[in-house]
Amino acid sequence: MPSLNRLTGVACALAGLCLLLVVIPDQVEAIEDSGVQPATVPTAVAWVLMAAGAFHALFPTGDTPFDGPEALRAGLFLAIVGGGVYLMSEIGFLYVAPGLVLAIMLAMGERRWFVLWIAALPVGIWAILELWLNRPLP
């Protein structure tokens, strides 16, 4: 059976390939009057992710044992983020983001300053994107 390090490398390479072939063409619009196309940075990141994943799969270092509780914690984190993204598309960013920040911080075990971050982080992101960059949030 292949080591978890090799499987992680293959998963990263496949994620980069998925970004390159599916996500970026579907989600990024081309702009004719732009010096730098909006897909430039995401495409570069996808190539780096594929190359790093392939390198990690071909030349793994050490052995990482499977840790069941850690895998469950990672699954919980993915479920929280997935649920938050779904709720953002249904309800809206400003209504969901504070609860999502709280859920992620509690799942990670962070207890310091969480009241400040729950309020400040979503409002700051909203202000930067909506007011400064004129980019609508869901």
Q: How many domains does the chain have?
A: 2
Same domain, 24 and 3: yes
Residue 87: which domain range? Answer: 67-138
Same domain, 50 and 89: no
> Cα separation of 22 and 1, whole Å?
30
Which ranges in 30-136 belong to alpha helices (H)? Answer: 40-58, 68-90, 93-108, 114-126
The model carries a pTM of 0.59
User: Tokens 């409002």 label which residue?
Assistant: 123
Same domain, 17 and 83: no
Residue where a domain stops, chosen among 64, 92, 107: 64
Whether 16 and 53 have beta carbons less than 8 Å apart is answered as yes
Same domain, 57 and 86: no
Query: HSE (CB half, 13 Å, CA atoms) of 135?
Result: 6
Residue 1: pLDDT over 60: no
pLDDT tens string 102-134? 888 888 887 776 666 677 777 788 788 777 787
